[in-house]
Structures are given as structure tokens and as C-alpha cells.
Amino acid sequence: MTLSNTLEFNEYDRPHTDLREFVDRADRANELLRVQAVDWNLEMGALAEAICHAKSEAPAILFENIPGYPAKMRVLSGATNSSKRLALTLGFPVPTRALDVVQSYRDRMKTHRPIPPKVVADGPVLENIDRDGDVDVLKFPVPLLHELDGGRYIGTDDLVIMKDPEADWINAGTYRSMIVSKTTVGLWMSPGKHGRQIREKYFRQGKPCPVLISCGHDPLLFLAGGNEIKFGLSEYDYAGGHRGIPFEVVQSELYGLPMPAHAEIVLEGEMRADETELEGPFGEFTGYYASSQSPQPLVHVKRVYYRNDPILTIASPMRPPSTFSFSKCVTKSGMIWDEVERAGLSGVKGVWCHEFGGARMFNVIAIKQAYSGHSKQAAMLAANCQSGSYLGRFVVVVDEDVDPTDLFDVMWAVCTRCDPVEDIDFIRKTWSGPLDPRIPHGVSYNSRAIIDACRPYERLKDFAIVARSSPELRQRIETKFGYILSNL
């Protein structure tokens, strides 16, 4: 296996056209690991796990020359799972730390405006079309990621594209898709998610639910599809606003649904309420096989659109860190920060969703206190905003002198500024789902701990002084003795 190292990462004056151009840019930025002859049967998942657990912000992995498949069919994992690749995806300045990307996201959102996609007549995704009896989703190198998985998952880094039959908008969320046969896949969507709500509207009307499943596309669409944005806002529009120009889409043959014109692989089919098949189990981002095998609606695939030599994109959930957990931390942090400020909270100095909690279960918000109750308000907003609500567990609020990304710093504040009786509260019956390993089977809610690790507002002036060097002294020492510190 080799790491490419031909060019440094640089900003570009235009967005990448498609996944292939993104891969080329990541390659030249020394952010891509090419590996050869890795089998789809467990080897891809196990190797991705070893790579992610060996190095923080691990490189993207491009699996090439996959045994049993055409040599030019490839699989890409971890496209956005580093600060540099996130900046590359979103068109941000080159970052020096993760919070730089969070701040760039927040700066972008001050002027962000959704840009709807542009419908075009043709695109690379139409280079090949398999119809009806010619459909075989197993022609692609779909991995079996974990030893106890119920099957091979073609949809992990996917976009499940559906049209709301009542509100007339397009949702493109990321939901897992397991191959059942060469013409059918099982589609699992957590209760409360937008796609699940749309599916149930069709079923209540006694109608089949049309669906597209895109299985290789611009990583910016995966970032949009995997996060909670407001109901009624299409992920196409949200991602287009970040891109600055509209995504091009082509209408599918059967249902006229919009699919990315530059997608690599897209499945088209429909679900019926009375046709289910057992789906799962699947090793998930919490680090557990949390949701048991269950009957889920079956997607009958009637069309497969794909480019020549397609690239299948995958995400490999596992005990963190995973191939997408870091990127989730950055985007979630920016979204929560943006939402709590939109709700009127002042003084936010940083937000970080920690990777060991899957970017959902241990979130920290740092503030500069301005009034009594400020810290509790910050914690409650961070716990209950749209981006922070689903599957949460702990929210910690700290003072501005604590780095929210540094777990040691955060826990030092918890240990020295938090009184367990006075400063820890609980919220009951909050939004969770089957992926939560702690809650009983069939329950979709959990509880939250709100931990106020700030100095009491009323004691800010007389609270014990922190025993450390002043910033001025530290700067002088670092300048004078930098030759010692640089060798540590």
C-alpha cells in the first residue's frame, strides 16, 4: 500500500466537478491511501478499522483491483474524515486544527443561502442503465463490513432520495441499505427521521414509495445527507449553497426523481408497506450491534444507473473512531454552534462533539458567562436544538478558558468547577432510537445529563485563580526555549 505525496493541499478557485475530481485533489494533497487486492468479504471493513484506530484523522482509503471484480471498479471510504479533506470538500481555507473548520463553517453560514439543483438532460450517471431483468446489484464490489452483519451493505455512504407526497420537496438522507438479492435491498430508517416520515405518508395513502439510492457521489452530498437539517429543506439545496453553484441532476426514468448527474451508481425502485424482509444486524457508529434484526420494507430495484468504471463510496461504522466519525464531529459542532446562536445565545466561544461519542453523545460548549443562568441556558440549547437532539447523552458547558476539544481540559473543569448535586441536571424522554445500545428494545427515547462545569457566575471575581503561566510568560518562554520544546 502506498500514500500519494506529489502535491501540497491548496485552495481551488472552483468546486470539484464530481467524486473523481475530489479523489484526484485528495490524492495530490497527500490525503489518499491506495490499497490493492483487498477482498470485499470482511477485509475492507477490518483494514479500515485498523487504519482509523492507528492514526488520528486517517487518510481516505481507495480500494483498487478488488478480487473477483473488474480491475477499474473501486471502493472509496473515509472521503471527508480529516480537517484537510473537509476543507477541500467545502471549499474552506487550509486548516491548522479542527476548530478552524468549525469556524469556517460558521462564517459560511452567516451568508449561506440554499441553491436548488439544476435539471439537465444528460450526465455521466447515464453512461450505463440496467433495466428490470438485467438488474444485478451484486455486480458491484459491495462489502461485508463486520463479521456479525446480516448482509452486504451497498448503502452506508449513500443518499436515499425521496419526494414528500404532501409537502412537495425532495429529501436526500443517508440510511443504511442491505442487499437481500440481486434485485432487492432492505432499507432501514430510524423513527423520526425525515425519510421515515415521508415513507409513512405514502404507506398511509396506500401507495408504494418511490426511491432512489445513490451509492457514489460528491462527498459534500454525504455531509448534507448525514446531518439533521430542517424539515422541508432539501439536502441538494443545502449542499448547493455550500458549493456556491447548483448541483446538476437528471430525472430518473420511472419516477422522475432527481439523481446527481455526476453520481457513480444510482438504484431506482419502490417500497411497499406489505413487503418486508429481515434487515440487519449491522455494526453501527455507536460501536455496537445496537439494533436487532427486524423486518424492513423491501426496495424492488428496477433500474441501475452507473458510470463506466464506477466508484462505490462506503462508510464503515464501528467502535469509534470510524471512517466518518471525525468529519461528523466537525460538521455537528458547527451546526450546533450556529443553532444556539440563532436561538439568541451570546458569548459562545467554541463547540465540540467528541469522537468517542460518535459526534452525538458527548458534546461540549464553551461560553464567556455574562449573566446568572447563562451556562444552564447554553447547555439546554445545545442539548435540544435540531442538530444536537437525536441520540444525545451528555452535554457539558465550560468557561472560555477551557478548550472544548481537549477532553483532559474538559474533565479538569468537571472535576474542579462542577458540584454534582448543584450542577448536574437530567432531561427525560428525549429523542433517541434503536441505535442507542443502552435503551430497551422497542423504546425510542432516552435521557440526557446536563453538566455545568463553569465557575459559578456569582463567584467569577473571587473563584480560585488557575495555577498556570500567563499567556505573555508562555510566549516569552516558547520564543526563548523553542529549540527545546520543538524536540519534545
Cell numbers at 2, concatenated: 502506498
Catalytic residue of the set 284, 341, 355, 400 = 284
- DSSP-derived letter for residue 165 is T
How many C-beta atoms surround the C-beta of residue 464 within 10 A?
A: 9
Distance separating alpha carbons of residues 254 and 170, to the nearest angstrom: 16
* Integer angstrom CA distances of residue 199 from 13, 90, 170, 188, 312: 40, 30, 12, 11, 25
Q: Fill in the amino acid letter for 151.
A: G
Cell numbers at 31, concatenated: 490525503
Nearest by Cα to 72 from 64, 81, 61, 80: 64
* Integer angstrom CA distances of residue 150 from 52, 140, 300, 314: 23, 18, 19, 17
Nearest by Cα to 8 from 87, 121, 79, 109: 87
Q: Name the phi and psi angles at 339, rounded to 5.
A: -70, -40
The full DSSP string for 194-262 is HHHHHHHHHHHTT--EEEEEE-S--HHHHHHHTS---TT--HHHHHHHHHSSPPEEEE-TTT--EEETT
Annotated active-site residue 284? The verdict is: yes
Torsion sign over Cα 94, 96, 98, 100: negative
Distance separating alpha carbons of residues 405 and 399, to the nearest angstrom: 13
Let me know how long the chain is.
488
Distance separating alpha carbons of residues 233 and 228, to the nearest angstrom: 10
> Is the distance from CB of 102 to CB of 330 less than 8 angstroms?
yes
Residues known to be catalytic: 284
